[in-house]
Amino acid sequence: MIRLTKNIKTVLDVLQDEIKGDVKLALKKLTSDYTMTWVYKNKRGELFPRTKKDINVELEEVYPIKGRQYDIKNIAEGNNVVMVEMVESYPDPKTKKVYQTPLVIVLEMKNGKIRTGRHYCDPALSYLYLTKKQVAKAYQ
């Protein structure tokens, strides 16, 4: 049986909270000064967008997505850092087609909670409806 460290368990639990849409439970796993930075340029041309001051409101916008799944490919831990390589999948609410985005998140931990993170992905891929077979090519 694999024994998970407290930090890895926290990260896996917060991903599960996101799948369930449980904002209140997720907030308990984040520090009060939590931030997330997306390491890319978004559709509006903003370089390295990040969470605003009211994380509660932002999570309320993201967490209601039904059908979200995470396929974790690799997880690694260093000194107060957890890195997760995964594929995030979720259906488009209008078309029901599934987005599948390979990504990596780097999460800095403080006292067993997530303090900050960086979200690495190719936004051009994020807007495509990639098949599982297409995404699998990245992991050959």
Residues of the chain by 3-state class (helix, strand, coil), percent to 5: 30, 40, 35
Task: Give the model's pLDDT for residue 41.
Answer: 85
Domain 6-139, classified CATH 3.10.450.50, yes or no:
yes
Q: The tokens of 94 are what?
A: 């209008």
pTM (predicted TM-score):
0.87
Mean pLDDT of 61-72: 78
**pLDDT, tens digit, 9 for 90 and up, residues 44-64:** 888 998 887 766 666 656 556
Q: Where do the domains of the chain lie?
A: 6-139
